[in-house]
């Protein structure tokens, strides 16, 4: 039984959440709170397995509450937020502060089925292995990265990924090969995520735009919408396109689709990084990249919030090397600089998956 604490200032929303969550018998709502102060007391008293936390509340918003309890009592937390205005911005900041997922509030009149998708998110969150928040973790030691001019870096992540991306990008040089990210999020939240990461890291981070040419120094995030983001070649440069199609691994955009496109257009000049997340999305695409000559990295189990996607990639033989989150960017800095030597040749000695 997964024990859940529901936090929302709306009594109606608390009732709907509780009724929806308890439908299938493996989730029990052990308490509900109308504001952050009630939530703080119940969190200490009940020690729930998972918290659903409203983003916008009176007295103290969800972000401030999260920042207060996560360092001392880390608990898997799912933000429940509106997709417009300040709610989406705060939700992105909450994910960077340690929340593992975000769920959208249904619009208009909703019944007990309005939060059906939240049950699976809670089951995933209950398995999360939280790290104590590391807001001041390693930061960049270089402003630029030596690399082959055709180098392209693609990164995929899901549950726990926003906090992982925050650390990754705070280490990432401001002038580095173009980087394209696919992070599983509901529609409406990736723009806020891009703005939050840009502010926190000082990098040129934005949502990907169709037809945009990629150049060094750019970091682009695949929009959470009805299309997949892919990389293509146009006028001798990498460019972004959005393509239709069914969901892949239950996701759109999917990491697999992004990685597959990188395998085709970048080949041995590609770098694929698969970070924390539930499921298998990205594993097959990372294998395609490795088979095309790209260098591939998976986040290790010890530093992953959910060791699902990296595990699947390792078991598939898609990973050259597994590393802790703190060590991925420093390793790439050294490796790409070595490859950009006098000849710029791609090294053929492949590290074995550990």
Give which of 77, 58, 57 is closest to 67, Cα–Cα.
Answer: 77
Three-state SS annotation for 319-330: CCEEECHHHHHH
Task: Report CA 46 to chain centroid distance, whole Å.
Answer: 29
184 an active-site residue?
yes
C-alpha angle 101-103-107 in degrees, rounded to nearest 5 = 170
158 an active-site residue?
yes
Q: How far apart are CA 352 and CA 231, in angstroms?
A: 27
User: Backbone phi, then psi, for 302, in 5-degree steps?
Assistant: -65, -35
Residue 272: how many other CB atoms lie within 10 Å: 32
Instruction: Considering the candidates 88, 157, 184, 300, report the single residue annotated as catalytic.
Output: 184
Tokens standing for residue 165: 């991306």
Instruction: Considering the candidates 81, 158, 196, 261, report the single residue annotated as catalytic.
Output: 158
Instruction: Considering the candidates 281, 300, 304, 320, report the single residue annotated as catalytic.
Output: 281
* Size (the chain), residues: 354
Q: How far apart are CA 141 and CA 60, in angstroms?
A: 36
**Active site positions, annotated:** 158, 184, 281
């Amino acid at each position: 039984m997964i024990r859940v604490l529901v936090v929302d200032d709306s009594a109606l929303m608390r009732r709907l959440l509780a009724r929806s969550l308890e439908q299938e018998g493996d989730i029990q709502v052990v308490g509900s709170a109308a504001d952050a102060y009630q939530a703080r007391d119940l969190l200490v008293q009940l020690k729930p397995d998972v918290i659903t936390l409203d983003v916008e509340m009176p007295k103290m918003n969800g972000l401030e509450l999260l920042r207060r309890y996560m360092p001392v009592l880390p608990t898997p937390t799912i933000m429940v937020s509106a997709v417009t205005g300040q709610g989406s911005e705060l939700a992105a900041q909450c994910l960077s502060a340690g929340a593992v997922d975000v769920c959208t509030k249904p619009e208009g009149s909703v019944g007990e089925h309005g939060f059906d998708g939240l049950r699976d998110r809670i089951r995933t969150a209950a398995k999360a292995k939280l790290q104590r928040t590391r807001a001041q973790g390693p930061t960049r030691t270089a402003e630029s990265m030596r690399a082959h001019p055709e180098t392209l870096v693609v990164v995929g992540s899901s549950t726990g990924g926003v906090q992982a991306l925050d650390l990754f990008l705070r280490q990432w040089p401001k002038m580095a090969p173009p980087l394209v990210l696919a992070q599983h999020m509901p529609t409406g939240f990736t723009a806020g995520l891009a703005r939050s990461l840009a502010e926190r890291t000082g990098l040129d981070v934005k949502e990907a735009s169709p037809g945009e040419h990629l150049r060094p120094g750019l970091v682009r995030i695949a929009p959470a919408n009805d299309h997949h983001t892919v990389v293509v070649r146009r006028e001798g440069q990498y460019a972004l396109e959005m393509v239709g199609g069914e969901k892949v691994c239950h996701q759109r955009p999917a990491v697999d689709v992004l990685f597959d496109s990188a395998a085709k257009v970048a080949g041995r000049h590609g770098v694929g990084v698969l970070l924390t997340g539930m499921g298998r999305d990205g594993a097959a695409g990372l294998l395609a990249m490795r088979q095309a000559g790209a260098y591939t990295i998976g986040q290790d189990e010890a530093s992953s919030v959910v060791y699902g996607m990296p595990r699947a990639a390792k078991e598939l033989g898609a990973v050259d090397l597994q590393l802790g989150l703190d060590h991925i960017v420093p390793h790439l800095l050294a490796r790409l600089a070595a490859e950009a030597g006098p000849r710029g040749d791609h090294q053929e000695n492949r590290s074995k998956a550990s």
